[in-house]
């Protein structure tokens, strides 16, 4: 059994559960979206809250942080874009008629999925709908995008994939592949007998991996729609997926994480010790971090499966985890963002020379505060 993890800071400013946590590409900021209808920006240098993003009229379901803008979506049927420096709302995207579940910013486009059974793509700057993707018979959940330059250039498919391909998963039991340029459904991926809860994309291999409440993972060729492999060893819903170095990691309601060979579907490792469902996964520098419904995060040696550390302190399910440098960030439905020391784990990066900001982070365990900023 692994030892306990040391908490560096607890940020309990949100007044509701945190549904998602996003790290900026440059690693300088974090974004949290909450049941309290707000989002918050945090500095990874010292763990301080930089801005409070207010404007949504219901809870924030998901968020994505870019270097210069933050994006949030909500049960109020809208998406918002925010300035990361001022915290001001720059754009409100209106058009969905029910809860917006997920968003994805890629190739200067904003993609969204909703309980209204549609996915949409928006012009980031103008806030206008570019395409609407209709065809699912129930709510649309996960999204993934493959850019045109990652797809084959053969004449027979070049026109169809000119704007890239969007992959969506739905509670109707299917995943669909959409031509972004035309809005047409390119392929419908049928085979699951339960809701598709998660998906990851192997872009070079144009392969999608989908996880479902039917306890299976399935691999698909997104160009032909062919089902390539079925991964069958879980005994409960597959809740989250991570694809790293030709390995697929899957977290399940059966309280385990499994590691599979992406190319064959063979299960090569099982990670146990969770007392409830595995709700979040993150691979970092040879360590697999997990979040669970038992309110604990865990660190496993990704190669051996050995449990190295348990991070205790949350009081409810951990919805999302991120790792940056020597710090693990966990966001929970208890409303807290916790920062943990991951130094000393196998494969963790060697500590750099002490800096003022790092010293502050590793000594300050006090909650954070921010001044509300008004939306546009």
Segment 144-173 shows an average pLDDT of 85
Residue 349 has pLDDT above 80, yes or no: no
What gap in Å lies between CA 275 and CA 291, rounded to an integer?
11
374 in any annotated domain: no
Q: What angle do CA 68, 71, 72 make, to 5 degrees?
A: 155
Residue 353 has pLDDT above 90, yes or no: no
159 Cβ contact list (under 8 Å, min separation 6) = none
Per-residue pLDDT tens digits for 179-217: 999 999 999 999 999 999 999 999 988 999 999 999 999
Contact predicate 165/186, CB 8 Å: yes
What gap in Å lies between CA 51 and CA 293, rounded to an integer?
29
| pLDDT at site 155 | 60
24 in any annotated domain: no
85 in any annotated domain: no
% of the chain at pLDDT higher than 70:
89
**How many domains does the chain contain in total?**
1
| pLDDT at site 361 | 46
Residue 371 has pLDDT above 50, yes or no: no
Residue 274 half-sphere exposure toward CB, CA atoms < 13 A? 32
What gap in Å lies between CA 141 and CA 113, rounded to an integer?
6
Angstrom CA distances, 204 to 125, 167, 188, 294, 296, stand at 29, 15, 20, 36, 34
**Kind of pairing between the strands at 307-311 and 3-4:** parallel
Residue 5 has pLDDT above 90, yes or no: no
Q: Beginning with the edge strand found earlier in the chain, give each strand of the sheet holding 307-311 in spatial order.
A: 3-4, 307-311, 297-301, 287-292, 278-284
| pLDDT at site 4 | 78
What pTM, to 2 d.p., does this model score?
0.90
Q: Which residue has the higher pLDDT, 368 or 225?
A: 225
Contact predicate 311/300, CB 8 Å: no
Per-residue pLDDT tens digits for 50-79: 999 999 999 999 999 999 999 999 999 999
Segment 265-273 shows an average pLDDT of 96
166 in any annotated domain: no
81 in any annotated domain: no
Q: DSSP secondary structure string, 319-340?
A: EEEEEETTEEEEEETTS-EEEE
| pLDDT at site 346 | 60
Residue 354 has pLDDT above 60, yes or no: no
CATH number where 261 lies? 2.130.10.10
Range of the domain at 248: 238-346
372 in any annotated domain: no
220 in any annotated domain: no
302 in any annotated domain: yes
Contact predicate 295/333, CB 8 Å: no
List the one residue out of 147, 137, 70, 72 whose CA is nearest residue 102: 72
């Amino acid at each position: 059994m692994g030892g306990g993890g040391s908490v560096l800071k607890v940020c309990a400013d949100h007044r509701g559960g945190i549904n998602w946590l996003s790290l900026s590409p440059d690693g300088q900021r974090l974004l949290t979206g909450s049941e309290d209808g707000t989002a918050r920006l945090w500095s990874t240098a010292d763990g301080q809250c930089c801005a409070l993003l207010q404007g949504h009229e219901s809870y924030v379901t998901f968020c994505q942080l870019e270097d210069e803008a933050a994006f949030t979506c909500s049960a109020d049927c809208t998406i918002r874009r925010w300035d990361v420096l001022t915290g001001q709302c720059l754009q409100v995207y209106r058009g969905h008629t029910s809860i917006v579940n997920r968003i994805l910013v890629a190739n200067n486009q904003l993609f969204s999925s909703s309980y209204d059974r549609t996915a949409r793509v928006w012009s980031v700057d103008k806030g206008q709908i570019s395409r609407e993707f209709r065809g699912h018979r129930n709510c649309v959940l996960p999204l993934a995008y493959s850019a045109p330059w990652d797809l084959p250039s053969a004449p027979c498919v070049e026109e169809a994939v000119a704007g890239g391909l969007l992959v969506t998963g739905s509670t109707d039991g299917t995943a669909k592949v959409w031509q972004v340029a035309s809005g047409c459904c390119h392929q419908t991926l049928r085979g699951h007998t339960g809701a598709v809860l998660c998906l990851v994309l192997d872009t070079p291999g144009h392969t999608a991996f989908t996880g479902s409440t039917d306890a299976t993972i399935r691999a698909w060729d997104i160009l032909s729609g062919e089902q390539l492999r079925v991964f069958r060893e879980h005994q409960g819903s597959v809740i989250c997926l991570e694809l790293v170095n030709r390995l697929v990691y899957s977290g399940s309601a059966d309280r385990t994480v499994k590691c599979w060979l992406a190319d064959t579907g063979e299960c090569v490792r099982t990670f146990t010790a969770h007392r409830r469902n595995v709700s979040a996964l993150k691979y970092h520098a040879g360590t697999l971090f997990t979040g669970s419904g038992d309110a604990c995060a865990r660190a496993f040696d990704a190669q051996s499966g050995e449990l190295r550390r348990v991070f205790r302190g949350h009081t409810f399910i951990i919805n999302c985890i991120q790792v940056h440098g020597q710090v693990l960030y966990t966001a929970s439905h208890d409303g807290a963002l916790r920062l943990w020391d991951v130094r000393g784990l196998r494969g963790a990066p060697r500590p750099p020379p002490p800096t003022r900001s790092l010293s502050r982070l590793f000594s300050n365990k006090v909650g954070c505060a921010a001044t509300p900023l008004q939306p546009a």
